Homo-oligomer: A and B are copies of this chain.
Amino acid sequence: MGNLKKRSECPISSSLDIWGDKWSLLIVRDLMISKQCTYGDFLKSEEKIATNILASRLQMLEENDVITKQEHPESKAKVLYKLTQKGIDLLPLMIEINLWADKYFTMPPERRVMLEEVKKDKDAFIASKRIELL
């Protein structure tokens, strides 16, 4: 299944080999907003990812150490997904995507609040989010 083949030694290319598709960064986004999600949580988010695609992306991201599975504290039937350090390190990237999008799309009001905070002091925002996610 989701095994990685590098197209080149270029760091951009190698990065895209892992999360360069329409869905992976949305999974990362959900984990940055919610800190931890179950399989069902991902399915609920508004872009409506197909369940087989979700499964393959989660596997890919786990194999590449961007996310980890943990057992749910209150049920063996549930699984918790979280970002690893490598995943949390995508935070600056995600923020730059938001800033770019802010310039060229209309932002939903809730995101706007967060972005104001980011614009005030980007590094501080990243630092506090980083702690929050660990």
Residues of A near any B CB (own CB < 8 A):
7-17, 20-22, 25-26, 29, 46-48, 86, 89-90, 92-94, 96-108, 111
Contact = CB atoms under 8 A, between A and B. Distances in A.
Contacts of A86: 103-104
Contacts of A13: 26, 47
A105 B26 contact: no
Number of copies: 2
Nearest to A92: B96
Contacts of A96: 92-93, 96
Contacts of A29: 10, 12
Contact of A47 (B7, B25, B92, B99): B7
A22 B48 CA distance: 21
A16 B12 contact: no
B103 A99 contact: no
A2 to B, nearest CB: 14
A122 to B, nearest CB: 10
Nearest to A48: B7
B89 A14 contact: no
B93 A10 contact: no
A25 B13 CA distance: 8
Contacts of A46: 7-10
